[in-house]
Amino acid sequence: MKKTLLAGAALNLVFAGSAFAEMTIGVAGPMTGQYASFGEQLRVGAEQAVEDINAAGGVNGEMLKLSIGDDACDPKQAVAVANSFAGEGVSFVAGHFCSGSSIPASQVYADEQIIEISPASTNPDYTDKRPGDGIFRVCGRDDQQGEVAGAYIAENFPDAKVAIINDKTAYGKGLADQTQKFYEEAGKTPALLESYTAGEKDYTALVTKMKEAGITLVYVGGYHTEAGLMARQMREQGMDTVIMSGDALVTDEYWAITGDAGQGTLMTFSPDPRKSEAAAPVVEKLSAKGQTAEGYVLYTYAAIQAWADAVNTAGSTEYDAVVTALNDGTFDTVIGELSFDDKGDVTLPGYVVYEWKDGAYDYVESGT
């Protein structure tokens, strides 16, 4: 009888344990540093996705637990974060943000058989040279973004004196190079090509050089902090030069830096998921918490949705089974119905052009 009671107690513990079973997933990005506003976007999207998935019963009956990794957009720190996730037994990471972080971290994930879906890394090399078949992204690529930007500048500013500048990062230089390529393919020649160092506060010398060259449009391959400072410093020098950049300007912090100097800034970004019917419930929940769905919030949410659906299809978190489910599946997400091609790139509509006006960004025209 005593044995029976003990066996029953042990069985109850097993059931109790399974009722509270958890699996840990990661989200990684610049949670600190000058690009922390983007890390915040990834964190907000991940936390809401985990909350909603758990409320619906979890993944294969297990609750999700979120581990947050701060890479500060630094390649070495990104590798350290990836190794830390591996030590935690994480099977999936939504991240990273900066391409310069995602690319080196992806080698660790491939070696450790951890699936990575980046919400925001746009450098083509991230998937073109991926070290394993468990590396994906739900955002577009710089060659797609550069094609839209280069063609837009050539068509809408045919007589402009154009400067194309970059911050020498994997993201910034890659984006500037692609924009230059497609601008030149449209029969145009940039008046000035320059690079600058990210993280500086004073870009007076570069601004002066553009002013002396009579630049009327500058394309910035880089992030919102430097672009914002340049915008202010150009206006301070009396320049009404049009500023254009990429998806790293999709943060309200850009306007916080520029104020009215940011008026009319152009940028490329994917079609705004906040406008879709599928995203409405999530946008409403975030709004109720005093949070926004700006930038890459919903892309992070969608990355976790796609992975969770693939795990449910596979019936486990076993690497090969989930990779197969991701490769073969079509996923209904907050950014639309998506699937992945044989490189791990997402099949979604391309980029569109936005304009900053009065502290907010909205469409200028549809992309190609």
Break the chain into its structural domains and give their ranges: 2-140+275-338, 143-269
- Joined tokens for residue 86: 């591996």
Closest CA to 265 of 203, 217, 223: 217
pLDDT value, residue 21: 87
With b for 16 or more beta-carbon neighbours within 10 A and e for fewer, the 213-226 pattern comes to eebbbbbbbbbbbb
pLDDT value, residue 202: 96
Distances, alpha carbon 274 to alpha carbons 97, 122, 368, in Å: 19, 20, 20
Closest CA to 182 of 141, 211, 222, 216: 141
Same fold, 2-140+275-338 and 143-269: yes
- The CATH fold of domain 2-140+275-338: Rossmann fold (3.40.50)
Q: What whole-number distance in Å separates Cα of residue 341 and Cα of residue 344? A: 5
- Joined tokens for residue 76: 């070495």
Bridge partners for 269 per DSSP: 352
Closest CA to 27 of 86, 70, 59: 70
The mean predicted confidence, pLDDT, of the chain is: 93
Taking domain 143-269, whether its CATH number is 3.40.50.11930 is answered by no
pLDDT along the chain (368 residues), means of 10: 35 41 96 96 98 97 98 98 98 97 98 98 97 98 96 98 97 97 98 96 97 98 98 97 97 97 97 92 97 97 98 97 98 97 94 96 68
Q: What whole-number distance in Å separates Cα of residue 116 and Cα of residue 127? A: 11
138 in Cβ contact with 349 (< 8 Å): no
Q: Count the Cβ atoms, other than its own, within 10 Å of residue 56.
A: 9
